[in-house]
Chain A
Amino acid sequence: MLVNSFLNGIKKGFQLFGSTITETITIILLFVTYIIGVGIIALPAKLTKKEFLPFMKADSSNQSQDKLSDKVVEKNKVQTYWIIRKESSKEDFERMF
């Protein structure tokens, strides 16, 4: 009994140690990937002001308004936030993109 519980304790300890090591290595690898994979593209892109997400700059119309219709501010440069969707061909549906 005592030996069994001792061995079980050892086993659990090793499992915990293993999972901690795995998680740590994963985090380190992900960090390296993030810095190299994302950072190398992101930094020069930021310098050249490339927009990765649409319409991220603040609008002049973001002040409090009494009515929603008032928010349709003529002075906005952007006329619409709709993005026109390309029509898909049948072949497009066979792809994951």
Chain B
Amino acid sequence: MKNKQDTMTAEAKENNPMQKKRIIILGISCFYHDAAAAIVVNGKLIAAAEEERFSRKKHDASFPKQAISFCLKQCNISINEIDYIAFYDKPLLKFERLLSSHLFAFPKSFGQFARAIPSWMNKKIRIPKIIKKELKYKGKIFFIDHHLSHAASSFLASPFKKAVLLTLDGVGEWATTSAGVGEENKITLQKEIHFPHSLGLLYSTATAHLGFSVNNSEYKVMGLAPYGKPVYLDKFRKLITVKEDGSYKLNMEYFSFHYALHMPSEKYIEEFGPIRKPNDPVTEHHQNLASSLQALYEEVLFTILNALYKETKITNLCMAGGCALNSVGNGKITNHTPFKKVFIQPAASDAGGSIGAALYTYNCILEKKRTFIQEDAYLGPSFLTAEIKLFLDDNNIIYKIFKNEKDLADTTAKLIAKNNVIGLFQGRMEMGPRALGNRSILSNPTNPKMQEILNEKVKHREKFRPFAPVITAEDVHKYFDIDKDEEPFMLFVYPIKKEKRKLLPTVTHVDGSGRLQTITKKQNVRYYSIIKSFEKITKVPVLVNTSFNIRGEPIVCTPQDAYRCMMGTGIDYLVIDKFIIARKDNPKDMWDSESLATD
């Protein structure tokens, strides 16, 4: 079949009044971690999803064929109708960095070389061929720099006309930190810090040293930090030199990630003790290390941000990149810097690069006006009531049907108030690492034993990790010390008001904080109604919201995944569309997910 590009370019089509003005751009990110696809139609983000949700492999980095299929299906188009594909980085610049590292580290880097080169030869430098082969696409492909994709994913989805842009992650091509300004549909990244000097890799090195998995468990270190004291902060300061202008460099004597398969160097281990093995107990020493690391991260972040403000005098800030998921640091930005408003892309990691690449192509390369503000993260697949019913009937699953929305909200709230654990599955799946009410597990935050119950039944998390609260937006100031009215993406941690902490033991972290999500009726009517019904029973407009997944697996995507998750864990009820399923009613499908769980 002929590609649309062969017959008429997008620009020509737009100039032709007989043609419908529609420019469709597919954004792709893959081959490192969190592969994803996003589709932008006339500048509006229509669909986006991570490949892991379909393949069921956590952080799946492979070519996102299933995510792309979903995006095309969501727009009801074929690949031939795509005008442009935007890839989220420049592979040859990354390859240059890789070779430079090996040249620098020769002959110490053979292990890393042997591990990396085959995938580079087979996939990473053959991206145009892979795209053409996998998708049968013959049109133009744009390669947007990694940090530019991150910056675009935040600024071009934000409500700001003008903002300071800061992207922070492990590493892109060469850049590990980039700063610039966005105005209308123009993004200018003016300066960057280059590999190996990386705040993200510093955090990951400490994560590896603490016995947690890199590129996956950095949030565990963040959760551990409030248990300790920053007694090693001075020692940590030896790892990094920061200038007044916010630029920094690492002291590479402490790191080996640029040539070896392990991240902390011998000197790091001499300074901070042996690497904790994953099953070893977490001691006070580890807590203090986590606390010191988090304190250092915040110091550096605020130094960079204060310098950027001094330079630009702009009070809006957009952030993206893996470090922008450090919700503890994010929650302190407005108190420690002159920035007044902060927008962070909810899919701030590499998955969001697909969104950024597509938006950048539309707004900046094609020079089209901005028409999009991201107000929610419900960008993934949804399922029809009939499809769900068919699945339930075909599998002889015993269920009940709610009479109406009020019945659904009231019944669910009653079950939660009785300390049941509920899986809520509705509407479009969330894009990004957070479950925000469509693929969520809900429970009672007022029960002091709920953390234990949730861990025993479902999550099997380390005890030090807190659960997160969701609260109706109109009540947020009654419960949280927060400087804004809404936080729909669960990307900021704020202090819970002292007088409310005892009321919410499950979601109050040891330092009295909570990583909250606010919700309005407009954003998610069913989710909001359940909280309101819970409030009628308990006088508390707050629920525990945690992601709907089996430990070590991605968040559920389909009704099958949700049912399997409930039956493999101790979730008591699954509220799915207008159906409710009790686990105890379906003993034939029970299994033990922990027997297969990893991480």
Chain B residues closer than 8 Å to A31, beta-carbon distance: 110, 114
Interface residue total, chain B, C-beta cutoff 8 A = 64
Cross-chain contact of B103 among A27, A45, A71 (Cβ < 8 A): A45
Main SS at interface, chain A:
loop
Q: Which residue of A lies closest to B102 (CB)?
A: A38
Beta-carbon contact of B102 and A82 below 8 Å? no
Q: How far is the CB of A80 from chain B (nearest CB, A)?
A: 5
Cross-chain contact of A93 among B102, B143, B196 (Cβ < 8 A): B143
Beta-carbon contact of B245 and A80 below 8 Å? yes
Main SS at interface, chain B:
mixed
Q: How far is the CB of A50 from chain B (nearest CB, A)?
A: 8
Interface residue stretch chosen among B89-97, B282-290, B491-499: B89-97
Q: Does B113 contact A (CB under 8 A)?
A: yes
Tell me, in angstroms, the Cα distance from A59 to B560 when the chains sit together: 56
Q: Does B234 contact A (CB under 8 A)?
A: yes
- CB within 8 Å for A62 and B238 given contacts A38-B99, A55-B249: yes
Tell me, in angstroms, the Cα distance from A68 to B482 when the chains sit together: 27
Beta-carbon contact of A81 and B197 below 8 Å? yes
Tell me, in angstroms, the Cα distance from A96 to B258 when the chains sit together: 23
- CB within 8 Å for A97 and B92 given contacts A39-B106, A64-B237, A71-B242: yes
Q: Does A1 contact B (CB under 8 A)?
A: no
Cross-chain contact of A58 among B188, B194, B251 (Cβ < 8 A): B251
Q: Which of B190-205 contact A (CB under 8 A)?
A: 190-197
Beta-carbon contact of B247 and A82 below 8 Å? yes
Q: How far is the CB of A32 from chain B (nearest CB, A)?
A: 11
Q: Which residue of A lies closest to B142 (CB)?
A: A93
Interface string of B218-231 (1 = CB under 8 A from A): 00000000000000
Interface string of A39-56 (1 = CB under 8 A from B): 101110110000111111
Q: Does A90 contact B (CB under 8 A)?
A: yes
Query: Which of A51, A58, A73 gathers most chain B CB within 10 Å?
Result: A58
Q: Does A95 contact B (CB under 8 A)?
A: yes
Question: Is the interface on chain A under 10, 10 to 19, 20 to 34, or 35 or more residues?
Answer: 35 or more
Chain B residues closer than 8 Å to A38, beta-carbon distance: 99, 102-103, 106, 113
Chain A residues closer than 8 Å to B244, beta-carbon distance: 69, 72
Beta-carbon contact of B249 and A96 below 8 Å? no
User: How many A-B contacts if CB must be within 8 Å?
Assistant: 144
Q: Which residue of B lies closest to A66 (CB)?
A: B234
Q: Which of B241-267 contact A (CB under 8 A)?
A: 241-249, 251-253, 258
Q: Does B538 contact A (CB under 8 A)?
A: no
Chain A residues closer than 8 Å to B103, beta-carbon distance: 38, 41-42, 45, 52
Beta-carbon contact of A34 and B110 below 8 Å? yes
Query: Which of A26, A31, A97 gathers most chain B CB within 10 Å?
Result: A97
Query: Which of A41, A71, A72, A94 gathers most chain B CB within 10 Å?
Result: A71
Q: How far is the CB of A45 from chain B (nearest CB, A)?
A: 6
Beta-carbon contact of B195 and A53 below 8 Å? yes
Beta-carbon contact of B245 and A62 below 8 Å? no
Tell me, in angstroms, the Cα distance from A52 to B110 when the chains sit together: 17
Chain B residues closer than 8 Å to A77, beta-carbon distance: none
Chain A residues closer than 8 Å to B118, beta-carbon distance: 26, 30
Query: Which of B99, B110, B251 gathers most chain A CB within 10 Å?
Result: B110
Cross-chain contact of A71 among B93, B141, B179, B241 (Cβ < 8 A): B241
Chain B residues closer than 8 Å to A84, beta-carbon distance: 190-191
Q: Does A33 contact B (CB under 8 A)?
A: yes
Beta-carbon contact of B234 and A93 below 8 Å? no
Q: Does B101 contact A (CB under 8 A)?
A: yes
Beta-carbon contact of B195 and A96 below 8 Å? no
Q: Does B518 contact A (CB under 8 A)?
A: no
Interface string of B514-539 (1 = CB under 8 A from A): 00000000000000000000000000
Q: Does A5 contact B (CB under 8 A)?
A: no
Tell me, in angstroms, the Cα distance from A49 to B299 when the chains sit together: 34
Q: Does A4 contact B (CB under 8 A)?
A: no
Beta-carbon contact of A82 and B237 below 8 Å? no
21 contacts between A and B (CB under 8 A): A31-B110, A34-B113, A34-B114, A35-B107, A39-B106, A42-B104, A53-B101, A53-B194, A56-B252, A68-B300, A68-B303, A79-B243, A81-B248, A82-B193, A82-B247, A84-B190, A85-B190, A85-B192, A90-B365, A93-B143, A94-B142
- List 4 A-B pairs, minimum CB-CB distance, nearest first: A42-B106, A81-B247, A97-B92, A82-B191
Query: 4 new A-B pairs (CB below 8 Å) besides A55-B197, A81-B241, A88-B148?
Result: A34-B113, A38-B103, A38-B113, A85-B189
